[in-house]
Amino acid sequence: MTVHVGFDRADKDVRAAEHWFVELLGDQRDRVVACTHLLRVPSSHVAFSIALPSGVSVELPPVPDGLAAAAALAREEHLSGQGGRAFAYPGRDALVGTLSVADILSLSAIERVTVMGGAPATPDTLVETRDHVRPLWMAGHLTLVTLPHVDGRIAPFEMPEEIPCCSLH
């Protein structure tokens, strides 16, 4: 049985929030699916969700006053498979260098690969992972969103050195 938990500490920086949570997870990082959620309630910030399989637990600090509803929203998005950006998930560490779509699907918890603005990916399509693969929950599936890259290859939509977007302004 998997338990889904929402957590919030009103982080403003996705990268710093992800780093803090990965350290909290320690060696359990590969056994859970942990996500960030960019929320606007009660104000723009980063919340977390985590799916804990049987036998895995994480000691989270208390959610600060006023953030319980946001933590619950993050949990609901993850549980329904309708939102959240996974930064910890089974197989994440194997997704380095260039891999085929079939490799990504067999080595990790990622369930599908989509291509924005290009031909659909096939099992043989090569993916330049850039050693930074952050799938999203979309329509109930953990989905790697990609863009066309060079020589018929594709690459994750999210760049390793992300430019801050307007979601937290």
pLDDT in tens, 64-76: 999 999 999 999 9
H and E: helices and strands count for the chain: 3, 10
pLDDT, residue 74, reads 97
- Lowest pLDDT segment from 9-13, 113-117, 159-163: 159-163
- Per-residue tokens: 34: 């942990």
Count Cβ neighbours within 10 Å for each residue of 45-70 and write b for 16 or more, e otherwise: bbbbbbbbeeeeeeebeebeeebeeb
pLDDT, residue 163, reads 54
Which residue in this structure is represented by tokens 């994440």?
92
With a CB cutoff of 8 Å and minimum separation 6, the contacts of 36 are: 14, 17, 18, 46, 47, 48, 84, 85, 87
- Per-residue pLDDT band for 169 (boundaries 50, 70, 90) equals very low
Average pLDDT, the chain: 93
pLDDT, residue 140, reads 97
List, in sequence order, the alpha helices (H) in 26-166.
Answer: 68-80, 101-107
**Mean pLDDT along residues 48-63:** 94
Contact 30, 90 (CB under 8 A): yes
Rounded CA-CA distance 145/104 in Å is 12
pLDDT at 168 over 60: no
pLDDT at 46 over 80: yes
Q: What is the pLDDT of residues 81-135, one digit of tens each?
A: 999 999 999 999 999 999 999 999 999 999 999 999 989 999 999 999 999 999 9
Q: What is the pLDDT of residues 13-35, one digit of tens each?
A: 999 999 999 999 999 999 999 99
Rounded CA-CA distance 165/169 in Å is 8
pLDDT, residue 53, reads 95
Cα 114 to Cα 32, 57, 138, 158: the distances in Å are 23, 32, 11, 13
Rounded CA-CA distance 49/117 in Å is 30
pTM assigned to the model = 0.91
